[in-house]
Structure formats: C-alpha cells, structure tokens
Amino acid sequence: MTAGRFITFEGGEGAGKSTQILALADHLTAAGIETVTTREPGGTPGAEAIRDLLIAPGHPDWLPETEALLQYAARKDHVQKKILPALEAGKWVLSDRFADSTLAYQGFAQGLGYEFVHRLHEIIFDDFQPDLTVVLDLPVETGLARAKSRAGDAPESENRFERMDRGFHENLRTAFQEIAHYAPERCVIINAAKTQSDVAEAIWTAVTEKFEITA
C-alpha cells in the first residue's frame, strides 16, 4: 500500500476553502482515491476542545504567543490521531487550514514573527509538512463581503477575525502570498475571485499535475 497525500487549503476570510475541499474530495473519489476531510483548529475531540477555547463566546483576549501555543497543541493531537493514521492507511487528507495559518495569522498579521512560529513547528513536528498547499487568493474586500453574506449561518464567535480592520486582512493576504512565494515546491496560488467551478477546475489541474493523476 502506498502512503497517502496531505493537501492543505489556506487563505483569508471568505476565500471558499470548505467549498473547494468538498469539490476536490469529489474529484479524488471519482478517481478512485479515498479521502479524509478535516479542519484546523479541530479534527479530533481533543483539538475541537481547544478550538472551543479559542473561539467560544466570551473567549479571553489571548496574546499571540498563547494563541499560537494553543493552535499547536490542537495541531499535535490532530496530526497524531487523525492525519498520520489516515496517511499511513493510504488515504488522502484534505485539511481546511494547517501550520501556514498560524504563521500568517499569529506570525505575520498579529506580529509574533516568522522565527517564533517556525521554531515552534520545528520543535513539535520536525520537518513534517503538507505535500501540497492550495492558497486561495482574492481581494480583501471580496473575501470580507463573502464572509459577511454567510455570517448569519455562523456563531458570532466564529467571525472574530472577520471583524478585524482592513489593515489586518491586507497583512494576512500578503502573508499567504509570501508563504507561497518562498515555498513554490509545496504551494500553489489559485485565483479565488473566479466562479466556484472555475476555482475547482484550477485546483484539480494543479493536483493532477503535482501528483500525476490520470483520470
């Protein structure tokens, strides 16, 4: 049995990650590839409990360092109990966010710095990284408008980053672009301002080229 593949989806608010993960899962399933979809923070009972700490109503005003540590505590549980077992079983894991989100949100947009987050990742995971990271990129105003349109379906606590000022979101977009620029062998930037079907097709093309899928 060959090992599975680990694909992560990154991007700012309203980028459409969850929608595109489901679309890619459908493509892979049709190609005969078993997939597991998951999210961060979360994905396992322990990680979901930490997610509640991060986003629960009336949550503390966490320092960036504290939030990064909580994110990595959840990530460790997620990787050990869900991601690695699935990969070892030959399944493909599609995750809505992973370590790049901590680097972008806490490292760049909240000012913690690249070195702190990189060192934290290295201590906990050594060189473990996704096989492919899809960065969904779109103008800030477009993403926030999309996020606002769906806000009625989500708990208020889930939207706290959406309520940050425009400068925060511009920094976030720049952070994801820079992450992709410095890791071109792992990351692909997809124009998420296009229609859902066009975005899904662009992602599928990137995946088939990266992993030489013929289907």
The per-residue pLDDT for range 152-197, each reduced to its tens digit, is: 555 444 555 656 678 889 999 999 999 999 999 999 999 999 999 9
Alpha-carbon gap, residue 156 to 110, rounded angstroms: 21
122 inside domain: yes
55 inside domain: yes
130 inside domain: yes
**CATH number of the domain where residue 134 is located:** 3.40.50.300
Q: Which residue is listed with tokens 């360092």?
A: 65
Which residue in 153, 39, 136, 137 sits closest to 93, CA to CA? 39
**pTM for the predicted model, two decimal places:** 0.92
Specify the pLDDT at position 104. 96
Specify the pLDDT at position 127. 93
Alpha-carbon gap, residue 35 to 41, rounded angstroms: 19
35 inside domain: yes
72 inside domain: yes
Q: Name the residue type at position 182.
A: Y
Residue 136 makes CB contacts below 8 A (sequence gap 6+) with: 9, 10, 11, 15, 16, 17, 20, 190, 192, 199
Alpha-carbon gap, residue 203 to 23, rounded angstroms: 9
Flag residues of the chain having pLDDT under 70.
1-2, 57-58, 150-164, 215
Range(s) of the domain holding residue 102: 6-211
Specify the pLDDT at position 50. 96
**Number of structural domains the chain divides into:** 1
Torsion angle of the four alpha carbons 138, 26, 55, 63, in this order, in degrees rounded to the nearest 10: -60
Specify the pLDDT at position 152. 56
1 inside domain: no
153 inside domain: yes
